[in-house]
Structure 1
Amino acid sequence: MPAVTRVRLRPVVGLAIALTVLCVVLAGCSAYAVHADWTRWALMDRLVSDPGAVGDAELGRAESLIGLAGSVQSRALIVTCAVFVVWFHLVRTNARVFASGSDEPTAGVAVGARFVPRGKLWLPYRIAATAWVSSRPLGAEDGSRRFPSTLVNVGWGAFLAARVLGWCGGMASSLAESPDAVRHAAAAMLVGDVLDVVAAVLAVLFVVRLTAMQWSRSAQEPAVAAVRL
C-alpha cells in the first residue's frame, strides 16, 4: 500500500454499533411516551364527556405515567444525542478526506452546529447531506453509485417536528386550566412522540448506511485508509 502522510480516516464502526443500540432504546422510550400520552388523552376525553367518570386516583396514575415516560425519554435522548454528535464529527472528518479540496463545512462545524442558535436548525442537515454525498462509494460507470438522500431529509424533518410539537405540547400542558385544554396538549405531545419514534428508526438506518458507505469507500481508496474503519 502506498505510504500515507497526514491523511487518516477515523474508525467509526464501533461507535456506530453503540449509537444504533442507543437509537433503538430511544425508540422504545418514545413508544412508551406515546402510550403515556394516549392514556392521558383518553382520560381527558372521558373527563370532558362525563366529569364524574374519572376519579382522582386515576388522574394521579396518568400524571405519574406521564412524568416517568418524560424522564426516561429525555435521559435517553440526551445520551443518544451526545454519542451521535461524536459519531457525526468522525464521519464528517472522513467525508472531507473522501472529498478533499472541497469547501464543505469542517468537522468542527458538525459539532458546533448543534449549539448555534437558529443555525442548529439547518447546519446539521447541510452537513449530513454533504457527508452523505461525499461518502458514496465509487462506481464503475459514472464515478459514483447513487444513494437516496431520503433518510437525511425525512429523518431530520421528523426530528425537528418532534421537538417543536413536544415543546408546544409541554407549554400548553403547563398553561392548561381545563380538561379540554389538557386533552389538546396531550394530542400535540402524542404526535410529537410518534415522530420521535420515526426519527429514531430513520436515524438507525442513516447511521448504518452512512457507516457502510464509508467502509466501502475506504476499501476502494486504500491510499487514504491509513486506519481502516
Structure 2
Amino acid sequence: MLCSTCRLRPPVTDDGRCLLCAGPAGAAAPMPPAPAFFAPQQYLRSPEGLAKAVVVLLTVVAVADLLAVAAGMNVRRVLVAGMTDDFATYDEAEATLADNLSGAAGVLQTLASLATAVVFIIWFRRVRLNAEVFDPSMQPMRPGWAVGAWFVPVANLVLPRRIAGGIWTASAQTNTDGSWRSVPGTVMNLWWGTWVCSLVTSQYAARRSWKAEQPQELVDTAGLVAATDAFDIVAAVFAILFVRRLTRMQGERAALGGYPLGTQGAAGRAH
C-alpha cells in the first residue's frame, strides 16, 4: 500500500498518508513497535530420575565386568591346562565353550557400556545446566561442552573433569547465613582417576590381546584382560558414588529456594 496522496511512499497515518504528505502531524505519528528479543530463561530441572537410571546401568556394567572376569579366568585355566602336556589332551569342546562364554561376556560389556555412556552424558548435561543457574561464574566452559568434551580425543581425559569441578563447586550448599560452604571433592577425584586408569589399561590390554599368538602370550593377556575388567568394577562403584553425591548436592542447593523452576520442578523437590 502507498500513500493516498502522493502514491510514492508507504503510509504512516491513520488516513493513509506518508510522513511528508501528512506534514507536522505525521511526524508525531506512532511507529510500529520493534519486536523485543529476550534471552532464554534458565531453569532448574531435577537430575534425580536420570541419576537413578545411571546408577542402574552402572550396576549392570559392574555385573557384566564380573561375568567377563569369570569368563576370562576360565579361558586362562583351559589354556594353562593344555600347556601342561603340550596340548596332548587339549579339550577342543571345552576351549570352544570358554571362548564363546568370553565373547558373550564381551558383548554384554559393550552394550551395557554404550547405554551407560549415553544416559550418563545426558545426566551430566542436566547437572551442568543446573550449575549454570546456581552460579555461572564457577563454570570454566560453556554448557555445550558438557556433551562435546567427551568426544574430543585426548582432551576427553581432562576436559570433563574440569567441567565436573565447576558443577561440583556451584552445587555445594551454602550455609544458612548465606556464606559459602566447600565440599571436598574426594569422591569426584576417585571417580575420575579410576575411570581414566580403567580406560587406559583396557586399551593396553586390548592391544596386547590382539597381538597375542603364542600359548603363553594368550595366557598372559587373558589374565591381564581379567584384571582390567576387575578394575573397571572399581571405577563403576566410584562412578555410582559420584552420581549419587552430586545429585544429592544439587537437591540440597535447590532446597534453599530462590531459583526458577522448570516444568519438571526444582532439582531438590523431585526426590
TM-score w.r.t. structure 2 length? 0.77
The aligned length equals 225
Indicate which of 193, 196, 220 corresponds to 1:184.
220
Q: Which residue in 1 is equivalent to 2:84?
A: 49
Q: Which residue of 2 aligns with 1:64?
A: 100
Answering whether residue 72 of structure 2 is matched by residue 37 of structure 1, we say yes
CA RMSD of aligned residues (A): 1.9
5+ long unaligned stretches in structure 1:
none
For residues 29-87 of structure 1, give each alpha carbon's deviation from its aligned partner in whole angstroms, at most 9, with x where no partner exists.
11111111211222233333333353111211111111000000000000000000000
1:39-118 equivalent positions in 2, closer than 5 A? 39-51=74-86, 52-118=88-154
Q: Decide which structure has greater helix share.
A: 1
Decide which structure has the larger Cα Rg and report it. Answer: 2
Give the secondary-structure state (helix, strand or coil) at the position aligned to 2:136.
coil
**What CA distance in whole angstroms lies between the structure 2 residues aligned with 1:147 and 1:48?**
54
Query: Which segments of 5 or more consecutive residues in structure 2 lack a partner in the other structure?
Result: 1-39
> Matched residues in 2 for 1:148 and 1:53: separation?
58
Q: CA shift at 1:214, angstroms?
A: 0.3
Partner of 2:54: 19
TM-score between the two structures when normalised by the length of structure 1: 0.90
Quickly say closer, same or farther: Cα 1:141–1:194, change in 2 above 3 A: farther
Matches within 5 A, 1:114-193: 114-140=150-176, 143-193=179-229
**Post-superposition shift, 1:24?**
1.0
- Aligned partner letter, 1:9: L
The amino acid across from 2:217 in the alignment is A
Residues 181 and 141 from structure 1, CA distance in 2 versus in 1: closer, same or farther, beyond 3 angstroms? Answer: farther
Taking CA–CA contacts closer than 8 Å with sequence separation of 6 or more, which of the two structures ends up with the larger relative contact order? 1
Write out aligned runs for 1:174-213 (5 A). Answer: 174-213=210-249
Letter in 2 for 1:179: P
